[in-house]
């Protein structure tokens, strides 16, 4: 097992992020594999999108020490484990609790690995080790002082195969593919302050994680600041000038959303916390009122967990059965299977307009038509479609539609449920309290009119105002041009990534998908690729993307996902492809 002294000496010599990543993979190879009998769910470190197992045992002594063994399916994560084992294994509980691991990782320039997030699990591993140390705490703390030694010859050999170390080289911002863009992307990018960020390693930010959340233009940021600085108050209740101004702006945002999706009336636009909250509202209110034992709920294999779990909860409450529409080997919904599954027992069909993993654009209007033919209601998860292309709920004949503000330039903490007015009117309120009532007596209450009966309590006033400004911005850019722009980037990504050895794109052809390109590289874990790209200024997502059933169907534990928006450039796509190619070369075992 490699020692902390050896690790410390190596990291002192490593300035380039590629070198540090390579070294993590190298020291990960020194870990002995964990016995298969110990790879149990009980020993798994939760919160890791890579698989991580950690086992502790006590070695007798005065005082006794703790011995840790661990393993992962991700080579880079195995390197992080090697560091933790070098730090903690063989130490007393007091030493474990006293060791300044944050300082060590900061010195190694790995501090970002211990943020409390699910991806690589280092934070969760440290937390688990410290919890075990607390359970066995005895004795006094003894400081650990890393001993310095010379770099290993193995690392020197690896380093010789890599580009020269040093600060980040200038990154091209222009591309020969710029001419194909329908938008003046340089002018657009000037509206987004964060896109001018230069990261710690000296690389300019290439933000390609828009499927998770988009960035905000200064117009939205300014609208939020203006609200708080000049006219903020609660809405609908007060009689003073600030309350009137806030109410006008809040309702103007509702009208902006109505126009964006072509709803009939603002009574059909309910503000809520986001897509997840909107789907839960429908499952709880409409579902509890209309679904019974023996009924069927129809979902698809490509759904986000937010469009799965609320329906599983409804099925558990009511005794209904969930049935699943499969996907084809071409990453599209099997519409023949849909027809076989639809019946008079089908009460609701819940489907994503665009898959957040595959990017597949589903034939929503056709699905709705077929579902309505058997009397079923349809909920459309439009989180990945409303921000990216024109949407028309009346043309679709949609019953319910849910989407989130933070995926379309707006603030976080606000989203929209569109519901057909007759459906919303018949649904009981989901939450009770202020704003959602007309009258309250000692004997009961009368709910408010639509949409307010579903907006209990003080609403998300300023986030909604910011969303309204985001809608205005999107419409000024033109939703048709946004779709065309993303298609140019997606085609380029498919073309360039196809040249990476062992890379498989997970999803259909660009013309059949949104601006999402998910992929897996043979022999390289997605978490490792994601962090490699991060150290080179490129933000993508790795993991199961809240779509575990889909990944199980695809035979994958995780994948990488690059997701584009209209402020991204061909040069950023070229950086992505080049960095993935470098990651494959550096990280493949």
**Tokens 């075992």 found at:** 589
Where does 293-443 have alpha helices with state H? Answer: 309-318, 335-341, 364-373, 393-396, 421-426
- To the query of whether residue 48 is one of the catalytic residues in this protein, the response is no
**Tokens 């309505």 found at:** 372
CB within 8 Å of 389: residues ≥ 6 apart: 479, 480, 482, 483, 514
- CA–CA dist 556, 234 (Å, integer): 48
Can you give 120-136 as a three-state secondary structure string? CCHHHHHHHHHHHHHHC
- CA–CA dist 561, 85 (Å, integer): 31
Task: Kindly give the pairing relationship between strand 444-447 and strand 437-441.
Answer: antiparallel
Does residue 272 sit in helix, strand or coil? strand
Does residue 143 sit in helix, strand or coil? coil
- CA–CA dist 450, 287 (Å, integer): 18
CA distances from 53 to 42, 68, 90, 467 (A): 9, 10, 18, 42
Confirm if 512 and 269 have CB atoms less than 8 A apart. Answer: no
**Tokens 């379309």 found at:** 408
Of the candidates 422, 384, 430, the one whose C-alpha atom is nearest the C-alpha of residue 403 is 384
- CA–CA dist 212, 369 (Å, integer): 30
- According to DSSP, residue 44 is labeled B
Element (H, E) at 73: none
Of the candidates 359, 364, 361, 363, the one whose C-alpha atom is nearest the C-alpha of residue 380 is 364
Does residue 200 sit in helix, strand or coil? coil
Choice among 48, 272, 546, 560 that is catalytic: 546
- CA–CA dist 323, 303 (Å, integer): 13
- According to DSSP, residue 284 is labeled I
**Catalytic residue set:** 546
């Amino acid at each position: 097992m490699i020692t902390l002294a050896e690790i410390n000496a190596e990291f002192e010599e490593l300035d380039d992020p590629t070198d540090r990543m390579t070294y993590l993979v190298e020291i990960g190879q020194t870990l002995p594999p964990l016995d298969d009998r110990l790879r149990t769910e009980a020993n798994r470190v939760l919160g890791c999108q890579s698989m991580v197992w950690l086992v502790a045992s006590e070695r007798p002594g005065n005082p006794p020490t703790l011995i840790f063994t661990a393993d992962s399916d991700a080579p880079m994560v195995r390197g992080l484990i090697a560091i933790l084992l070098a730090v903690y294994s063989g130490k007393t509980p007091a030493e474990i609790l006293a060791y300044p691991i944050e300082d060590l990782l900061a010195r190694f320039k790995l501090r970002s690995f211990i943020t409390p997030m699910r991806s690589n699990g280092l934070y969760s591993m440290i937390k688990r080790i410290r919890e075990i140390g607390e359970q066995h705490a005895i004795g006094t703390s003894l400081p650990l002082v890393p001993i310095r030694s010379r770099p290993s010859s193995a690392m020197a050999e690896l380093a010789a195969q890599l580009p020269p170390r040093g600060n980040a080289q200038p990154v091209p911002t222009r591309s020969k593919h710029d001419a194909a863009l329908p938008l003046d992307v340089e002018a657009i990018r000037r509206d987004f302050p964060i896109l001018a960020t230069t990261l710690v390693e000296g690389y300019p930010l290439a933000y390609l994680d828009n499927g998770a959340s988009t960035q905000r233009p200064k117009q939205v940021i300014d609208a939020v600041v203006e609200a708080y600085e000049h006219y903020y108050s609660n809405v609908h209740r007060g009689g003073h000038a600030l309350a009137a101004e806030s109410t006008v702006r809040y309702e103007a945002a509702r009208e902006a959303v109505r126009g964006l999706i072509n709803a009939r009336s603002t009574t059909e636009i309910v503000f809520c916390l986001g897509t997840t909250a909107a789907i839960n509202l429908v499952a709880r209110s409409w579902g509890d009122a209309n679904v019974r034992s023996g009924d069927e709920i129809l979902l698809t294999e490509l759904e986000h967990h937010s469009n799965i779990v609320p329906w599983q909860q409804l099925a558990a409450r009511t005794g209904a059965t969930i049935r699943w529409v499969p996907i084809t080997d071409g990453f599209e919904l099997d519409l023949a299977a849909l027809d076989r599954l639809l019946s008079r027992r089908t009460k609701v069909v819940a489907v994503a307009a665009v898959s957040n993993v595959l990017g597949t654009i589903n034939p929503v209007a056709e699905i709705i038509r077929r579902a309505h033919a058997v009397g079923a209601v349809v909920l459309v998860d439009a989180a990945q479609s409303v921000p990216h292309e024109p949407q028309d709920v009346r043309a679709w004949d949609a019953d319910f539609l849910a989407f989130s503000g933070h995926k379309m330039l707006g603030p976080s903490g606000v989203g929209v449920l569109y519901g057909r007015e007759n459906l919303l009117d018949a649904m009981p309120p989901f939450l009770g309290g202020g704003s959602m009532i007309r009258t309250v007596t000692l004997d009961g209450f009368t709910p408010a009119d639509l949409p307010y009966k579903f907006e209990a309590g003080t609403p998300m006033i300023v986030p909604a105002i910011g969303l309204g400004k985001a809608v205005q911005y999107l419409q000024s850019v033109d939703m048709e041009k946004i779709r065309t722009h993303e298609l140019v980037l997606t085609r380029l990504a498919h073309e360039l990534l196809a040249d990476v050895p062992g890379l498989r794109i997970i999803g259909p052809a660009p013309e059949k998908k949104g601006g999402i390109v998910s992929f897996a590289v043979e022999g390289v874990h997605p978490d490792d690729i994601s962090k490699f790209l991060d150290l080179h200024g490129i933000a993508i997502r790795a993991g199961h993307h809240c779509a575990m059933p889909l990944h199980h169907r695809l035979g994958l534990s995780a994948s990488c996902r690059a997701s584009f928006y209209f402020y991204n450039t061909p040069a950023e796509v070229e950086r992505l492809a080049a960095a993935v190619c470098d990651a494959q070369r550096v990280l493949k075992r």
